[in-house]
């Protein structure tokens, strides 16, 4: 029995670590309505195209809130650089929306969406 336990614990730990490392694509999917990053990006993009800047600022807040919830789930399964790139896109997006710069806003939104698609691959 002791030999079994001595062998089973490291194997179980390795299996657990592997499952955590490959779970990024599943964990980035929304678990509710308040953590849907894709929908938030699309909402901000729609508001920027319509130049509804006040509404876009609110949507950027919702995007940032959703992203913070997703980060907690994927932080161990995704590359830290990709997480940091998407975070910096959202921060720059906030500045572009605040300054009502349509081209910079759309550029940051497309870059953020590109990073979002790459998570979990």
This prediction has a pTM of 0.83
pLDDT digits (tens, 9 = 90+) for 43-59: 999 999 999 999 999 99
Rounded CA separation 106/110 (Å): 6
pLDDT digits (tens, 9 = 90+) for 82-98: 899 999 999 999 999 99
Angle at 82 between CA 81 and CA 84, to 5 degrees: 65
Higher pLDDT, 108 or 24: 108
Using the predicted structure, report yes or no on whether residue 106 has a pLDDT greater than 90: yes
Domain boundaries along the sequence of the chain: 2-118
CATH number for the domain formed by residue range(s) 2-118:
1.20.120.290
């Amino acid at each position: 029995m002791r030999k079994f336990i001595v062998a089973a614990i490291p194997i179980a730990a390795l299996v657990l670590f592997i499952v955590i490392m490959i779970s990024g694509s599943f964990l980035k999917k929304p678990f509710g309505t308040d953590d849907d990053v894709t929908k938030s990006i699309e909402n901000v993009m729609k508001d920027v195209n319509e130049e509804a800047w006040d509404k876009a600022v609110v949507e950027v807040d919702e995007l940032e809130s959703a992203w913070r919830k997703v980060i907690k789930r994927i932080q161990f399964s995704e590359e830290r650089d990709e997480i940091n790139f998407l975070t910096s896109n959202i921060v720059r997006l906030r500045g572009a929306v605040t300054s009502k710069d349509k081209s910079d806003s759309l550029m940051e939104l497309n870059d953020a969406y590109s990073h979002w698609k790459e998570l979990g691959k």
